[in-house]
């Protein structure tokens, strides 16, 4: 499918530690309007959407936005959902399921919509139904538990060092330094900073973990011909 699909519009809201008084649907809709305007399209031109399932259900968002769709899908890849959703959109367009697909990611950390930590079992039903069985025992308070185990296994299998893992966190932060919408814009970190940050779930350090934040982004994918 190389060369058969293209991103024609993007929309991104500033990322904040917490946004009160806004719903996830509201944030995603605002990002969608920015992407549609950037592409020079109309809402009626969008006939497919892909959302990150842990943010919001695609059918719920489509109804909220008043979209008429031929393709509606949720992506459960969590942190890699951005790139994966674009690939899904390209595949769906190639298969003829839609012509113009909008990929949306993000959400709010409004305390009225639930949050992280012990209170995760309160608020709306989780997108992942396994959460109700995991949350009471702690692991669902964040991805750190699962990623800690995976990191430990990777170190065991391949001899990967803490320093090598820390470099990935440093590179990720570097990518955010000049992004005006990033939470950590202008705040670089070093390998030593990562290794000296507190241990969250051995062998995972605090600065290797995703910062809980609020915001939204959208991109529009269509065929190269269009």
Domain coordinates in residue numbering, the chain:
5-114+213-223, 144-208
Question: Exposed, middle or buried, 199 (CB in 10 Å: 0-12/13-18/19+)?
Answer: exposed
Q: CATH number of 5-114+213-223: 3.20.20.105, 3.50.40.10, 3.40.47.10, 3.40.50.2020? A: 3.40.47.10
pTM of the model: 0.78
Structural contact between residues 99 and 93, judged by C-beta atoms closer than 8 angstroms: yes
Q: Per DSSP, what are the bridge partners of residue 19? A: none
What pLDDT, in 10s, does the model give residues 14-60? 988 876 678 888 999 999 999 999 999 999 999 999 998 666 788 98
pLDDT one-digit tens code per residue, 61-86:
999 999 999 999 988 777 778 888 99
CA distances from 73 to 81, 88, 89, 177, 204 (A): 12, 9, 9, 32, 32
Report whether the peptide linkage leading into residue 203 is cis, meaning its omega lies within 30 degrees of zero.
yes
């Amino acid at each position: 499918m190389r060369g058969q699909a293209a991103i024609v519009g993007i929309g991104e809201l500033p990322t904040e530690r917490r946004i009160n008084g806004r719903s996830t649907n509201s944030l995603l809709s605002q990002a969608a309007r920015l992407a549609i305007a950037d592409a020079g399209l109309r809402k009626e031109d969008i006939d497919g959407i892909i959302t990150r399932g842990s943010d919001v259900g695609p059918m719920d968002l489509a109804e909220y936005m008043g979209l008429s769709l031929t393709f509606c899908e949720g992506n459960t890849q969590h942190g890699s959902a951005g790139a994966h959703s674009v690939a899904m959109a390209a595949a769906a367009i190639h298969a003829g399921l839609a012509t113009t697909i909008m990929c949306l990611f993000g959400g709010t950390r409004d305390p009225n919509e639930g949050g992280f930590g012990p209170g995760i079992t309160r608020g709306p039903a989780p997108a992942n139904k396994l959460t109700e069985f995991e949350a009471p025992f702690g692991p669902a308070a964040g991805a750190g538990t699962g990623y800690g185990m995976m990191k430990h296994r990777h170190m065991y299998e391949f001899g990967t060092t803490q320093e090598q893992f820390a470099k990935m966190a440093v590179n990720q932060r570097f990518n955010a330094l000049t992004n005006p919408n990033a939470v950590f814009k202008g705040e670089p970190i070093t390998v030593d900073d990562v290794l000296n940050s507190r241990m969250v779930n051995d062998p995972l350090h605090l600065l290797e973990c995703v910062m809980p934040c609020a915001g939204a982004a959208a991109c529009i994918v269509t065929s190269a011909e269009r």
